[in-house]
């Protein structure tokens, strides 16, 4: 291929892929399958590697990320990013309408109603149709340049389409959809990290990550809602939003032109109910005067535009008493304070406890024992304390002091600089940490030792029978038979009774023996090495093949493995530097656990990268249960990834018989291709 031919092909591929990104992420109407898209992208990546000087500024390969940003540069906004005045009151909204009409001497004013996204405000600067800069709100006068990270968000165009001005600034909200939020928190839980409290915090945290390739994995989204141009191209805000769509921006379909205050209330009331069906969070409705000339007449205060207001929905909240603050010690030693409340009914369930997150959260709200506290359900799921009723505080109530010693083992707590959490460093001897590791080891995705559910680990630990993971393989019939004990099940709020009878003991010992055949990747996951999740364990095992090879690997060897970053590499090195961990591995190996891929497994591991970067969901029934498992293995053997829920991350759903109708409908709405087993086999057979 000549240089000119390469240039022409790169230009064509860039334009095609950007168009398909727009169709998929903005219009939610893909024109080609994910497989065809990936083939185009792979061709472009190879060409750009061969001809790096021909890479275009709007190349879709920039969305993959990879750049490292140690410090985000502060940038002054050309137009200040003011906040909106808020109200929870219908009467205040009527006053806003009345004030607008009085100032303008008009009997009626036209408004635009938009959803108020619960995310992170962003300003996007374009020159000659190319994205030049993305700046956070900051203090409204200046914000942080997060361009590298924002380029990974596929619903934000890198190059505009249509008839756009040479210079423009577009403003919007970056959000994290619910599916992405739940998946991210699940990963954090597996890694023993503190979970994000809500999608807004997760979106904000993602934008400030130093590694843009990590941002790309977070599946952020963005809705645009305002535009500044040097010359006025239209007369109304509604026309501006419509024009933004033609330039390639994602503008919410849920906007409404309202001609009076009554129509505004219809929109507000409609979305107070309908917001529960959205795949992302909103916390209200934004009302804006539609005509630009009227916006100019109304002007601004020092902090807010006079022509706009946000009506915020009230979350259901109740007032109850904070009786006590207790502390939970996690598997990795993180200390989580928990509010024990006087039981109260909230959104259909009785709430007795609420997470207090960390010391900073308690200090920020100035929470004290015996306070009357307001409790809401975050996302209508998780109870959280949102405010204190100061008028009912006891005059003598002392300020709250976070504990200095572990509540379980009395070890002095540590708080690293720049981290919110306190943690107990007594990794080896702190009982909750030990029990947490034991529970992780036997869990379904790890060693899958059935018969050691709720309460039984506690009892075995108290009896001194199990103190580290090797002890499971030392248990005998005589150790277990006849053990009986009651315990309190917090989830069911009642007493339970555990009895190790003959059949129970036999089944448990059989399950322990059976676990010795669990494959190496699940054994590695079961060890509980910090930050190693189920997928990263599979990647490491596929690459290193044996525990000895993994032990010998240095930092560079580890980060050379796909999806293994700095944190995981450092955690692995720290784990193998501890002689007690090496002894545990030697003991488990002697006991018969799998610490290398068998010859059959070596041949059964990744055999091609045809499905690299693709995600699959297997749904429905196949000819046999074994056949379904074979399909799942084929996905991984060819470099693909399996996930268990329908989301926009999916490349394909492989459907057998009797696929659930709800899942099928959700997939169709998301534009996810549904293929048969035969289609899938053709996919991996193609060169």
Check residue 490 and give its pLDDT.
Answer: 57
Task: DSSP for 483-545, please give it.
Answer: -EEEEEETTTTEEEEEE--HHHHHHHHHHHHHGGGS-HHHHHHHTT-TT--HHHHHHHHHHH-
**Which domain does 103 fall in, by range?**
75-312
Query: Which of 644 and 544 is assigned the larger pLDDT?
Result: 544
Predicted structure pTM score: 0.55
Q: Are residues 122 and 30 in the same domain?
A: no
Q: Are residues 16 and 134 in the same domain?
A: no
Q: Which helix (H) or strand (E) holds 585?
A: helix 579-590
Q: Which CATH number fits the domain that encloses residue 357?
A: 2.40.50.140
- Overall domain count for the chain: 6
The neighbouring-strand residues paired with 99 are: none
- The residue-averaged pLDDT of 83-98 equals 91
Query: Which of 379 and 484 is assigned the larger pLDDT?
Result: 484
Query: Out of 73, 116, 288, 514, which one is annotated catalytic?
Result: 116
Of the listed ranges 173-187, 242-256, 436-450, 668-682, the one predicted with least confidence:
668-682
- The residue-averaged pLDDT of 117-132 equals 93
Of the listed ranges 152-166, 320-334, 374-388, the one predicted with least confidence:
374-388
Check residue 196 and give its pLDDT.
Answer: 80
Q: Which CATH number fits the domain that encloses residue 624?
A: 3.40.50.10190
Residues 236, 216: Cα–Cα separation, whole Å: 35
Q: Which CATH number fits the domain that encloses residue 495?
A: 1.10.150.20
Q: Are residues 579 and 633 in the same domain?
A: no
Q: Are residues 220 and 296 in the same domain?
A: yes
Of the three residues 564, 585, 604, the one that is the final residue of a domain is 604
Q: Are residues 20 and 117 in the same domain?
A: no
Of the listed ranges 11-15, 69-73, 170-174, 294-298, the one predicted with least confidence:
69-73
Confidence of residue 293 (pLDDT cuts 50, 70, 90): very high
Check residue 625 and give its pLDDT.
Answer: 67
Quick check: is 26 in a domain? yes
**648 part of the active site:** no
- Mean pLDDT, all residues of the chain: 86
Of 195, 209, 210, 149, give the one whose Cα is nearest residue 174. Answer: 149
**Backbone φ/ψ region at 284: left (φ over 0), alpha (ψ -120 to 50), beta:** left
Quick check: is 425 in a domain? no
Per-residue pLDDT reduced to its tens digit, 269-284: 999 888 888 999 898 9
Quick check: is 360 in a domain? yes
Q: Is the pLDDT score of 565 beyond 70? A: yes
Per-residue pLDDT reduced to its tens digit, 353-391: 998 988 999 999 999 999 999 998 754 457 889 899 999
Q: Are residues 130 and 241 in the same domain?
A: yes
Q: Are residues 121 and 52 in the same domain?
A: no
Q: Are residues 172 and 255 in the same domain?
A: yes
> N- to C-terminal Cα distance for the chain?
21
Tell me how far CA of residue 144 lies from CA of 71, 137, 211, in angstroms: 9, 8, 16
Q: Are residues 83 and 156 in the same domain?
A: yes
Quick check: is 610 in a domain? no
Q: Which CATH number fits the domain that encloses residue 39?
A: 1.10.287.610
Q: Are residues 270 and 152 in the same domain?
A: yes
Per-residue pLDDT reduced to its tens digit, 602-611: 555 566 777 8
Quick check: is 416 in a domain? no
Q: Are residues 88 and 211 in the same domain?
A: yes
For 136, the 3-state DSSP assignment is strand
Per-residue pLDDT reduced to its tens digit, 249-264: 999 999 999 999 999 9
Residue 197 and residue 357 in contact, taking contact as beta carbons nearer than 8 Å: yes
Per-residue pLDDT reduced to its tens digit, 468-478: 999 999 999 99
Give the angle subtended at the CA of 70 by the CAs of 65 and 71, to the nearest 5°: 110
Of the three residues 554, 574, 604, the one that is the final residue of a domain is 604
Q: Are residues 250 and 202 in the same domain?
A: yes
Quick check: is 622 in a domain? yes
Number of Cβ within 10 Å of residue 680's Cβ equals: 21
Confidence of residue 687 (pLDDT cuts 50, 70, 90): very low
Of the three residues 284, 312, 340, the one that is the final residue of a domain is 312
Per-residue pLDDT reduced to its tens digit, 538-552: 889 988 889 999 999
Per-residue pLDDT reduced to its tens digit, 51-65: 888 888 878 787 765
Per-residue pLDDT reduced to its tens digit, 384-428: 898 999 999 988 889 999 999 999 999 999 998 877 889 999 988
Quick check: is 423 in a domain? no
Quick check: is 598 in a domain? yes
Residues 337, 349: Cα–Cα separation, whole Å: 22
Percentage of residues of the chain with pLDDT beyond 70: 92
């Amino acid at each position: 291929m000549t240089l000119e031919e390469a240039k022409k092909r790169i230009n064509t591929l860039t334009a095609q892929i950007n168009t398909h990104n727009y169709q998929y992420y903005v219009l939610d109407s893909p024109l080609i399958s994910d497989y065809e898209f990936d083939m185009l992208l792979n061709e472009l990546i190879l060409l750009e590697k061969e001809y790096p000087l021909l890479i275009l500024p709007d190349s879709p390969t920039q969305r993959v990320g990879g750049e490292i940003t140690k410090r985000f540069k502060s940038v002054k906004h050309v137009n200040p990013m003011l906040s909106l005045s808020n109200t929870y009151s219908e009467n205040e909204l009527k006053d806003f309408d009345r004030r607008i009409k009085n100032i303008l001497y008009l009997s009626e004013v036209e408004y635009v109603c938009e959803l108020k996204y619960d995310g992170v405000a962003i300003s996007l600067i374009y020159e000659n149709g190319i994205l030049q800069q993305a700046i956070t709100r900051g203090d409204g006068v200046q914000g942080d340049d997060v361009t590298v990270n924002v380029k990974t968000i596929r619903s934000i165009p890198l190059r505009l389409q249509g008839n756009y001005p040479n210079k423009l600034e577009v403003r919007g909200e970056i959000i994290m959809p619910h599916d992405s939020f739940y998946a991210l928190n699940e990963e954090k839980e597996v890694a023993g990290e503190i979970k994000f409290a809500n999608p807004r915090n997760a979106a904000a945290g993602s934008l400030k990550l130093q590694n843009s390739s990590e941002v790309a994995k977070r599946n952020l989204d963005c809705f645009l809602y305002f535009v500044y141009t040097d010359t006025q191209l239209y007369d109304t805000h509604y026309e501006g939003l419509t024009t933004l769509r033609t330039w390639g921006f994602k503008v919410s379909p849920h906007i409404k032109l309202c001609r009076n205050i009554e129509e505004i209330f219809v929109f507000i009331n409609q979305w107070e109910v309908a917001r529960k069906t959205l795949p992302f969070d909103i916390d209200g409705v934004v009302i804006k005067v539609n005509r630009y000339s009227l916006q100019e007449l109304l002007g601004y205060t020092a902090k807010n535009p006079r022509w706009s207001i946000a009506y915020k929905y009230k979350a259901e909240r109740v007032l109850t008493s904070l009786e006590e603050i207790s502390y939970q010690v996690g598997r990795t030693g993180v200390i989580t304070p928990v509010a024990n409340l006087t039981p109260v009914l909230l959104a259909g369930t009785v709430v007795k406890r609420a997470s207090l997150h960390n010391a900073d959260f308690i200090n920020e709200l100035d929470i004290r024992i015996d306070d009357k506290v307001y409790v809401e359900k975050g996302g209508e799921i998780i109870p959280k304390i949102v405010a204190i009723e100061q008028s009912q505080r006891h005059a003598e109530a002392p300020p709250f002091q976070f504990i200095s010693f572990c509540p379980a083992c009395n070890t002095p707590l540590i708080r690293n600089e720049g981290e919110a959490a306190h943690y107990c460093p007594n990794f080896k001897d702190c009982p909750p940490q030990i029990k947490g590791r034991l529970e992780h080891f036997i869990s379904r995705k790890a060693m899958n030792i059935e018969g050691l559910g709720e309460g039984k680990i506690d009892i075995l630990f108290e009896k001194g029978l199990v103190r580290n993971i090797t002890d499971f393989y030392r248990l005998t019939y005589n150790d277990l038979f006849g053990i009986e004990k009651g315990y309190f099940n917090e989830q069911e709020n009642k007493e339970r009774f555990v009895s190790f009878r003959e059949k129970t003991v036999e089944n448990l010992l059989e399950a322990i023996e059976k676990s010795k055949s669990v494959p190496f990747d699940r054994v590695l996951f079961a060890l509980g090495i910090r930050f190693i999740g189920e997928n990263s364990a599979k990647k490491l095992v596929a690459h290193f093949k044996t525990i000895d090879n993994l032990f010998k690997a240095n930092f560079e060897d580890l980060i050379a493995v796909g999806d293994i970053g700095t944190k995981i590499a450092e955690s692995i090195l720290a784990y193998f530097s501890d002689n007690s961990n090496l002894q545990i591995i030697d003991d488990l190996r002697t006991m018969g656990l799998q610490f290398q891929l068998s010859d059959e497994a070596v041949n059964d591991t990744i055999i091609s990268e045809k499905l690299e970067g693709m995600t699959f969901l297997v749904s429905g029934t196949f000819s046999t249960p074994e056949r379904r498992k074979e399909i799942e293995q084929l996905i991984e053997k060819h470099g693909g990834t399996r996930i268990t829920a329908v989301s926009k991350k999916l490349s394909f759903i492989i459907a057998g018989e009797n696929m659930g109708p709800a899942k099928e409908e959700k997939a169709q709405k998301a534009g996810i291709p549904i293929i048969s087993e035969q289609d899938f086999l053709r996919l991996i057979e193609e060169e």
